Structure 1
């Protein structure tokens, strides 16, 4: 095998060959903005909610939110708080319907406790996103509460202290580009609407109020629409007659990733679906997902064909049925770069803007057909904003911006049609004496997207491939050694029954008999009811430590906080962990002793 020095030199060579390409790669990355969401659902889980949310509308809202997420790729976490963190689930990437079911089961298992402190929940949600969000995703927080605090007098906590912590958390959220959307629950009429409105306003989110689950589809649709620059498309409101009634669902173009059809009715509803060719499509099927609750039905079409789909809806006679539609698109809007220089009053700047998907310009002229675009210019000296209509050439938008005064400006393009809108990254330009443009490079140049790949790509890939092979040989030996590495110390295990509150006596499990790796289920003597713990794996670490990796639906908690252990958590002597199980009402307590 090659010595480490030779392997290092080979990898450095591969990296040095990649350096000339980085300028072009940055342009491509700037043009690819994700339509994926990283969301944390924050719910007031205090006893006061028994009055302001007696029907657990908050649970229904969170479950419907999860159902509206993309079938794959979005990440969502849950924070339930009182005056402390009651339960928490770290960000989970949705990969299947079972992932959504696990999250909804977690929500159904939430219990309420005493006291309330909104700052605790919001502060934790911000930390969850800071520790686990994907930088390429769109982060957001959805807060469900009545807006009121109720402090434990014995703790000495004051409203001023809570407000200070809340404002700090909101400032961090705004800095990180995380809007907080609030849903005020008002069953008892004691909602603090102003407090929730201020939370949303400070972070660029929106605030909503409801005292009934009937409002949830509209509220959640608006949250999704606002966050992903989409528009709600009302389909139809019908009064059921006991027979199937036809509803037309128009998919406007081939760029739709998902179509979310929400059906709200006080009583059960049956539905049939027909594609644009008239063929009946099974509900559910590989391309049609369905989620049902006591308050809603959600039908999700994956990459639906363009055209008029027919939805047949059958409800109980005289029952009102509301149907709304929200599309999800994988596209962004880019603007040609504006030269970085000092401009003068009266100078004209050519504006060209394009729709892009996966870093490439969209050539579908039918998509542009029903779109309108404007150039939005904000005078940074006066605060005045003006809009100038741009021309639609069929495959891009174009126009001219004439600088009206010796001021600094921020300009962007906004394009929209009936189901969505998109905006380019704002660009700053200056016409002040001695000033210079500062934002010329913040928008992706659509012209750069047409550049051909670097001609030596094959050579680079060959060098990288060689480096990968050599690295693989090196790491295979390391893996073989690791697979036969032993453990030291012992793990102390206690199990608490959450129904009775009883806890088992401590069990001391010595680790010397294990080699390479073992799972927690083995330590628990393979008890069938605790089978979900077989996905909690331990491997040896350096310096008498062990590494825990969690791929189970359970949350790993350390010092009262949820820890993301999907990539591995190193434990040293004396570390203690808490693992609330999902499948059974039991909590496992672990302590690693060396």
Structure 2
């Protein structure tokens, strides 16, 4: 009975043997403030309105739903401002772009005014679960109004204070210096970026925008720019290949830059032409670019055919977006000393669920980065990726302090785990969430000496034994596999059209999976994550959900809150509320 009570207490309290990474999931959305100098001097430094095109393209590259964008237009005062708006539709993006088109010029310039306001917008509206950032478009030059008595020294002091706040709060500033007149102040813009762990770019041509914006996205969301060939138009359709490397791609952004009009066709990996635009293929156009966004694209080679005006240069760029994070698994021991070997394992997670597709791990290269903080020496140790996990080890050579983290990468993205700190002098172990420099990450746990009585020793032994029993039971349950496959069709309530049946094998999942995962994490179908499948007895499935989502079997609504058992041949339909679509499912063995 005592053991049972202890088990219940452990289940109710934070479990000491849990994951070594932070409890909260890694951010997958952006909260961005677009900061733009709209002073009269920009008529010369940005005579072709590159800033406006850059901001519009940035907005189009953001996720179809979930990201937030605010806009601050400044001179020596805030000319116009738009608080952070959460994007939920194409209309929201158009609203932001219309706001940009309505911006007016002013006489003077004070960078400090703009930076202070951009920081305030993030402070007042940024979601703690999102990645905050500032994208600044300016020529870097101040032009103060002498009539106000404002001095350059005052402006510099206020700018320094705003930049320090951005640094402390983890707001990286990415600057795009506009230099059409050759009077760009590179130093001031580079300083803003360097101090806040952002990056600085320079341009005087819209031709540079895809590369600049792609690098900003890549740096901020731990992605890589995938090169796609440039072509010289000949008046006919010319084909390029866009490879979607795996099924974990959330969105693929294909930007097409051309000074003259272009038309495009798209064919999916099965050879079927994909309509542009459609529910899964979004199209945004401007005077200088077209952007095609593929939502949860099928893995494989997509064929893009582009037709332009003869001799016109067409640049094509590609950036993927992934909803993936990398977490460290729990360590085997809580204390380590000189001579011990630390066994490290790490898993990828998508939408909070562990990724069990071994081919994704095998397509990546993972290393264990071990830093001796006493000497500054860094070791890069290769990790094994032959299964659905990254495994490696590190031997503690000295009684020093160490920081360990895992970095995994492939051709289009990379991920880094949280930092694990080991004090081999005292044996203490702690984890901290990775933050930009000065962003106030979690401090390593301090070793505290305390008296050890026989009472605590016996109690600790009992707790450890109870925890081991519970952990074993949980692990047995979480590792249970699935059999069979699910036939998936999506019925559009507006058009009456139904997608071709897709056969999803369930053997890749372990423990549980959501309907949203089965639907390849399509953003518009996020509501489906409320339905969870777990293995049942005799090769059956158990489905559980909430009353908020309607499930029917044989034309009758069923109560999934209590659990619904599915056997081979059973069919159900799931009516989504946020979009007029119904998911049709059939379980087969």
Aligned position for 2:487: none
Matched, 1:350 2:347: no
Contact 2:22 2:432 in 1 (8 A): no
Contact 2:418 2:432 in 1 (8 A): no
**1:16-45 CA distance string (max 9 Å, x none):** x99964626996972521211110000011
CA distance in 1, matches of 2:164, 2:432: 27
CA distance in 2, matches of 1:452, 1:29: 23
CA distance in 2, matches of 1:451, 1:42: 52
TM-score (norm 1): 0.70
Contact 1:32 1:357 in 2 (8 A): no
Aligned position for 1:178: 171
CA distance in 1, matches of 2:168, 2:11: 33
Matched, 1:133 2:126: yes
Pick which of 405-414 and 33-42 moved more: 405-414
Contact 2:281 2:292 in 1 (8 A): yes
Aligned position for 1:541: none
After TM superposition, the structure 1 = structure 2 runs for residues 177-216 of structure 1, keeping only pairs within 5 Å, are 177-216=170-209
Query: What are the ranges of 5 or more consecutive residues in structure 1 without an aligned counterpart?
Result: 1-16, 454-464, 467-594
After TM superposition, the structure 1 = structure 2 runs for residues 89-108 of structure 1, keeping only pairs within 5 Å, are 89-108=82-101
**1:234-285 CA distance string (max 9 Å, x none):** 1111111110011111111111110000111121111000111111111001
Aligned position for 1:389: 382
Contact 1:377 1:410 in 2 (8 A): yes
Aligned position for 2:398: 405
CA distance in 2, matches of 1:85, 1:379: 47
Matched, 1:424 2:417: yes
Contact 1:148 1:192 in 2 (8 A): yes
CA distance in 2, matches of 1:168, 1:216: 30
Aligned-residue CA RMSD (Å): 2.6
Matched, 1:259 2:252: yes
**1:92-117 CA distance string (max 9 Å, x none):** 00000000000000000000102111
Displacement after TM superposition at 1:342 (Å): 5.1
Displacement after TM superposition at 1:286 (Å): 0.6
After TM superposition, the structure 1 = structure 2 runs for residues 332-481 of structure 1, keeping only pairs within 5 Å, are 332-338=325-331, 341=334, 343-432=336-425, 434=426, 436-439=428-431
CA distance in 2, matches of 1:273, 1:312: 6
Distance 1:229 1:415, change over 3 A: same
Match of 2:14 among 12, 15, 23: 23
Aligned position for 1:588: none
Distance 1:156 1:352, change over 3 A: same
Match of 1:124 among 97, 112, 117: 117
SS of alignment partner, residue 312 of structure 1: strand
Match of 1:280 among 273, 278, 281: 273
Aligned position for 1:523: none
**1:343-374 CA distance string (max 9 Å, x none):** 33332100101111122210112212211000
Matched, 1:40 2:45: no
CA distance in 1, matches of 2:477, 2:147: 68
**1:390-409 CA distance string (max 9 Å, x none):** 11122011010112323212
Matched, 1:301 2:294: yes
Aligned position for 1:161: 154
Displacement after TM superposition at 1:428 (Å): 1.3
Aligned position for 1:476: none
Contact 1:415 1:421 in 2 (8 A): yes
CA distance in 1, matches of 2:64, 2:349: 22
CA distance in 2, matches of 1:35, 1:296: 26
Displacement after TM superposition at 1:133 (Å): 0.7
Aligned position for 2:233: 240
CA distance in 2, matches of 1:398, 1:31: 23
Query: What are the ranges of 5 or more consecutive residues in structure 2 without an aligned counterpart?
Result: 1-7, 434-441, 445-470, 479-545, 548-589
SS of alignment partner, residue 439 of structure 1: strand
Distance 1:41 1:344, change over 3 A: same
SS of alignment partner, residue 437 of structure 1: strand
CA distance in 2, matches of 1:24, 1:56: 55
SS of alignment partner, residue 163 of structure 1: helix
CA distance in 1, matches of 2:326, 2:372: 22
CA distance in 2, matches of 1:320, 1:148: 33
Contact 2:247 2:298 in 1 (8 A): yes
Aligned position for 2:46: 53
Distance 1:248 1:401, change over 3 A: same
CA distance in 2, matches of 1:388, 1:47: 54
**1:64-96 CA distance string (max 9 Å, x none):** 000000000000000001111110000000000
Contact 1:269 1:315 in 2 (8 A): yes
Aligned position for 2:517: none
Displacement after TM superposition at 1:410 (Å): 1.4
CA distance in 2, matches of 1:45, 1:451: 61
Distance 1:250 1:450, change over 3 A: farther
SS of alignment partner, residue 277 of structure 2: coil
SS of alignment partner, residue 58 of structure 2: helix
Pick which of 175-184 and 342-351 moved more: 342-351
Distance 1:160 1:379, change over 3 A: farther
Distance 1:221 1:22, change over 3 A: farther
What number of residue pairs does the alignment pair up?
436
CA distance in 1, matches of 2:143, 2:399: 53
Aligned position for 2:579: none
CA distance in 1, matches of 2:103, 2:428: 55
